[in-house]
A and B are shown apart, each in its own frame.
Chain A
Amino acid sequence: MLKNVHSRKGLQLVLGLFIGIAFGFLLQKGGVTNYNIIIGQLLLIDFTVVKVMLTAVLVGMIGIYGLRSLGLVILHPKPGSLGASVVGGLIFGVGFGLLGYCPGTVAGAVGQGSLDALFGGVVGMLLGTGLFAAMYPMLNRSILQRGSFGTLTLPELSRVHAWVIVIPLAGALLFILLMLERAGF
């Protein structure tokens, strides 16, 4: 682990910016900062978003678990619960369908000149996240902890070595991508 790099705050802000620039560049080149492409995915007529995401998961997963086996990185799985993950995901999807951008791609859309992304998406997200912050104590007491399973990962859930999940899942993701191509999407 590069602990001396991780602990330098100023350097980390610069790294965040540069990783963001590369991320935004890739998203725009992939076409996924376009409303037409994203809404096309949700309408199931254009599978660009799924192809980008599944390839990123495939490549990312093999690399991160490889680096982890070498002791170079540690995982940071997010905690979850049925109340937070299922309900939150369903609410998110409604907004996603209406807006036609997600929190990352909306920033990319702003960069390529989309005003609906700036004045609708970004302004809306500032309001929505602020609203959540205001309601957080109440939501946390009532629903967010329901059915909590913590930072569980799939290998922990199935009590097997990580690679027992990684390798078949990589094969499954490849298979899905090949099937999408063969089906003409």
Chain B
Amino acid sequence: MDDVIIARWSPYVVGAGIGILSWVAFLLSNRPIGCSTAYVRSSGMIEKVFRGKKATQKAYYQEFTPTVDWEWMLVVGIVIGAFISSVLSGHFQVQWVPSKWAEVMGSAVSIRWVVALVGGIVMGFGARWAGGCTSGHGISGALQLAVSSWLVFLCLFISGIITAHVLFAGWGG
């Protein structure tokens, strides 16, 4: 039982666990693990509240209907699983500004919020543009040896590395 309260597990144990979890997803649900469609479905659900049927007529929402599906439940599960894990290890912490950010960019909530919001918008847009994210392409697609996924994997890391360096070097001086 001690293992569940240890804060960090070896990245190899965690990686192997995620790999095995992908077998389970393929076997029992006939689908790969992915996350980003949950957000566009939710966005469609919100739009449906304000605009009704007009929203669901959009071509993209015909393809990704604004409904709760397997992947949507998976993302809800991630929130719950991380909550359980962090509570068990005593690392649940309500926090606005991560320490690594604060070291360089300062501890102002407003700045962190605005950059995170812009980052979220760009990432959400890019995830649907690329047809998947770090899980759907980076793990599930890569392990199936999909050409699209290896391309996305490489491109998102290259551009993420450049962006992080520019942000930290440029801002932090």
Report A's interface with B, CB cutoff 8 A.
1-2, 5-6, 12-36, 39-40, 42-44, 48, 51-61, 63-64, 67, 72-82, 84-100, 102-117, 119-134, 136-137, 139-140, 144, 149, 151-155, 157, 162, 165-166, 169, 177
Contact = CB atoms under 8 A, between A and B. Distances in A.
Nearest to B91: A112
Interface in B131-161: 131-161
A124 B121 contact: yes
Interface in B5-53: 6-9, 11-12, 14-33, 35-36, 38-40, 42-44, 46-47
Nearest to B18: A56
Given A80-B146, A89-B151, A153-B146, A22 B21 contact: yes
Main secondary structure of the interface of A (DSSP, over half): helix
B20 A63 contact: yes
Given A15-B28, A78-B136, A102-B135, A126 B39 contact: yes
Contacts of A34: 98
Contacts of B128: 88, 128-129, 132-133, 136
Contacts of B80: 17, 20-21, 24, 111
22 contacts: A16-B29, A20-B81, A25-B85, A33-B82, A42-B163, A43-B161, A52-B14, A53-B142, A60-B143, A78-B141, A82-B151, A88-B155, A89-B153, A93-B159, A94-B160, A96-B163, A99-B116, A128-B121, A128-B127, A129-B43, A140-B59, A149-B148
A89 B141 contact: no
B128 to A, nearest CB: 4
Contacts of A133: 40, 43-44, 58, 60-61, 64, 128
A35 B93 CA distance: 13
A81 B58 CA distance: 23
B135 A94 contact: no
Contacts, number: 538
Given A23-B21, A120-B119, 7 more contacts: A13-B73, A23-B33, A24-B85, A52-B11, A73-B26, A94-B119, A125-B127
- Interface size of B as a range: 35 or more
A136 B91 contact: no
Contacts of A103: 35-36, 38-39, 75, 123-124, 127, 133-135
B94 A115 contact: yes
Contacts of A61: 19, 142-145
B133 A60 contact: no
A115 B104 CA distance: 19
Contacts of A104: 35, 75, 78, 133-135
Contacts of A56: 15-16, 18-19, 22, 139, 143
B106 interface: no
Nearest to A20: B77
A60 B18 contact: yes
B19 A102 contact: no
Nearest to A93: B159
Contacts of A127: 43, 117, 120-121, 124
